[in-house]
Amino acid sequence: MKAPTAILFDWDNTLIDGWAAIEAGLNAAFAAFGKPAWTREQVLTNVRKSLRDSFPEHFGAQWEHARDIFYGAVQATHLEVIRPLPETLAMLDAAAHLPLGVVSNKQGPLLRKEAAHLGWETRFQALIGAGDALADKPSGAPLHLALARMGLMAGPAIWYVGDTSIDMQAARAAGCTAILLGDAAHDGGIAACAPDAVFAGGHALGEWLGTLDKRG
The residue extents of the domains of the chain are 6-17+83-215, 19-81
List pLDDT tens digits, range 178-192. 999 999 998 889 999
Band of residue 211 on the pLDDT scale cut at 50, 70, 90: confident
Point out the least confidently predicted range of 39-43, 82-86, 110-114, 146-150. 39-43
CA-nearest of 18, 25, 11 to 104 is: 11
pLDDT score for 45:
84
Q: Which CATH fold would you assign to the domain 6-17+83-215?
A: Rossmann fold (3.40.50)
Assign 47 to helix, strand or coil: coil
Average pLDDT value for residue range 191-216: 87
Which distant-in-sequence residues (6+ apart) come within 8 Å of 187 by Cβ? Answer: 45, 48, 163, 164, 165, 193
List pLDDT tens digits, range 125-140. 999 999 999 999 999 9
